[in-house]
Each structure stands twice: as structure tokens, then as C-alpha cells.
């Protein structure tokens, strides 16, 4: 994890912009419009995310019509680690297949 954090820091041109989770405020509340989404939706979320608990993903998948939810057990707030790829990659391929 530390190596990943170092790489993210090394490639980040503007550290303030990389902290976007805390800078987002204002704007239109989009939650009421989630039921209007017509694109096939795959929600991939981690069970151990300390910033956004899995309930956020469950709620999102529930409100987007036909959304599929894939929870990654034991994963935190990060890109899916290599050990989850056997689950994540096939799910994405199925989801994006013609």
C-alpha cells in the first residue's frame, strides 16, 4: 500500500486536486436522478472502505435500474488489488460484452 501511495504521490502534479474526495461540495444533488440512468451499470465496491462503507454501494446499485453490485471482500479504499482480478476482470468483461 505504501508503494502505491508513493507512486500516486510521484505522479500527482497538484496534490490539492488529488484530494478530490474532500474538495467536492455544492452542485446539484444527483441522487433523485439515479432512477433515470439507462446505461448498464456495474457497481464495484470494497467491503473495508473506511471512507465510503459498503452501504453506499448497496444504495447506489438499488437506485440505478438493473445495476449489478460486486462487493470485494477485504478490500479498502483503493483500486482493486491484483488478488481480486480473477473476480473483477471477468465481471467487467461480462458487463461490457456485446
In a domain, 5, yes or no: no
H, E, C per residue of the chain: CHHHHHHHHHHCCCHHHHCHHHHCCCCCCCHHHHHHCCCCCEEEEECCCCCCCHHHHHHHHHHCCCCEEEEECCCCCCCCCHHHHHHHHHHHHHHHCC
The parent domain of residue 85 ranges over 27-96
In a domain, 81, yes or no: yes
In a domain, 40, yes or no: yes
pLDDT the model gives residue 27: 65
In a domain, 56, yes or no: yes
In a domain, 6, yes or no: no
pLDDT the model gives residue 3: 75
- Which parts of the chain sit beneath pLDDT 70? 1, 4-5, 8-27
Distance between CA atoms of residues 91 and 83, nearest Å? 14
Domain total of the chain: 1
Q: Can you give the pTM of this predicted structure?
A: 0.74
In a domain, 77, yes or no: yes
In a domain, 51, yes or no: yes
In a domain, 15, yes or no: no
Amino acid at each position: 500500500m505504501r508503494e502505491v501511495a508513493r507512486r500516486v504521490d510521484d505522479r500527482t502534479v497538484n496534490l490539492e486536486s488529488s484530494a478530490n474526495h474532500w474538495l467536492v461540495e455544492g452542485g446539484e444533488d444527483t441522487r433523485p436522478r439515479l432512477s433515470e440512468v439507462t446505461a448498464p451499470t456495474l457497481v464495484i465496491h470494497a467491503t473495508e472502505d473506511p471512507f465510503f462503507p459498503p452501504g453506499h454501494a448497496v444504495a447506489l446499485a438499488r437506485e440505478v435500474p438493473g445495476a449489478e453490485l460486486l462487493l470485494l471482500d477485504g478490500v479498502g479504499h483503493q483500486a482493486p488489488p491484483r488478488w481480486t482480478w480473477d473476480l473483477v476482470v471477468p465481471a467487467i468483461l461480462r458487463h461490457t460484452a456485446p
